[in-house]
Amino acid sequence: MKKLLYILFAVCLFTACSSDDADDNAQDYTSFQVKSDEKEGTYRNVVAGYKQVDGNYKRIATLGDIAPGKSSDKITIDYNTIKEVELFFDAMDINGNYAATAPLTTIKINEKNNNVYTIPHNLIIASKVNKTNSTQYPVE
């Protein structure tokens, strides 16, 4: 009986001392999300794509508008094909009218993780892209 208690005690101790150091983002597939920590200002028509070997962009998903404090849906991707995701958005002028389409950033993808990109505050548009040119923008 004493041996049985020692065995049960050892099993409980072993279970209680197991590691909790696993990566919180670890999962059995690769995905990404985009979020905004802005207090005001919505990022309009955010589009995700990747550059193919031929130099043309291919669209992964249209993420839509990302409002202050909100996140896009989680998008699952094939890590064997996609190692970087490029984001684009439509910039608006002070009156809320379309001004230009611009690159937002490039996300380096970690395999079997949910790669979360937070849009920085006070983003400055450094360049514009042509939405009809697949070497500049992920056309359908």
In a domain, 79, yes or no: yes
Flag whether 37 is in a domain: yes
Q: Is position 65 within any domain? A: yes
Domain region containing 77:
22-119
Instruction: Look at residue 17 and tell me if it is in a domain.
Output: no
Domain contains 137 = no
What pLDDT does 121 receive?
A: 75
DSSP SS3 for 103: strand
Number of folded domains that form the chain: 1
Which residues, at least 6 apart from 7, have a Cβ–Cβ distance to it below 8 Å? none
Q: What is the pLDDT along the chain (140 residues), one digit of tens a residue?
A: 545 444 444 444 444 444 444 455 578 999 999 999 888 889 999 999 999 999 999 999 999 999 999 999 999 999 999 999 999 999 999 999 999 999 999 999 999 999 999 988 777 788 999 999 999 999 88
Residue type, 45: N
> Is 59 a domain residue?
yes
Determine, yes or no, domain membership for 63: yes
Q: Is residue 75 part of a domain?
A: yes
CATH value at residue 102: 2.60.40
Task: Say how many CA atoms lie within 13 Å of 31 toward its Cβ.
Answer: 13
Give the pLDDT confidence score for residue 38 in this predicted structure.
84
Contacts of 101 (CB under 8 A, 6+ apart): 45, 88, 89, 90, 91, 128, 129, 130, 131, 137
Q: How far is CA 123 from CA 7, 37, 38, 79, 133, in A?
A: 60, 12, 10, 28, 24
